[in-house]
Amino acid sequence: MSIDPEQIANTGKSFLIASDRCFEQRLLPSGHFQMPIVPAIVCAAFGAELCLKALIALEGGKATGHELLKLFNKLSSQSRAALATSLSLSEHDLRQKIGSVSSAFVDWRYIYEKSSANIDNEFLRKFAGEVETLLDKLSRLIS
């Protein structure tokens, strides 16, 4: 059964919206700030994953799994180059940066199992945003 790329894209974009909302800092009456960072990262990673899968589907491919780097590698060379350009990185450097956040969806869902964790959430958010932008451009070209 083939899934409509638009449905994949809509779900991915919803997770990116959820991530943005989770990254918002809220001032509590105590004067402390509240920001649910783990859900923010999980939603950003899953949103990026789904937007990558929608791009792959639009390009005629199929993709499974959660690893962002493997999904990136399934994109057309034009899409990989467009993402590298939009992030002002060489494709090699982009692959390295994606590799550092590639398993964020799985890792951060179970972050409580680790004694410590580190992630470049700024890059993850930028990458997810650029994937969404590319997806929108490609969707307009196809329709």
Segment 15-68, tens digit of pLDDT? 999 999 999 999 999 999 999 999 999 999 999 999 999 999 999 999 999 999
Degrees, nearest 5: CA angle 34-107-76: 110
Q: Residues 66-101, buried b or exposed e (16+ Cβ, 10 A)?
A: bbbbebbebbeeebbebbbebbebeeeebbebbeeb
pTM here is: 0.94
Quote the CA–CA distance of 133 and 54 in Å, as a whole number.
12
8 Å CB contact between 119 and 126: no
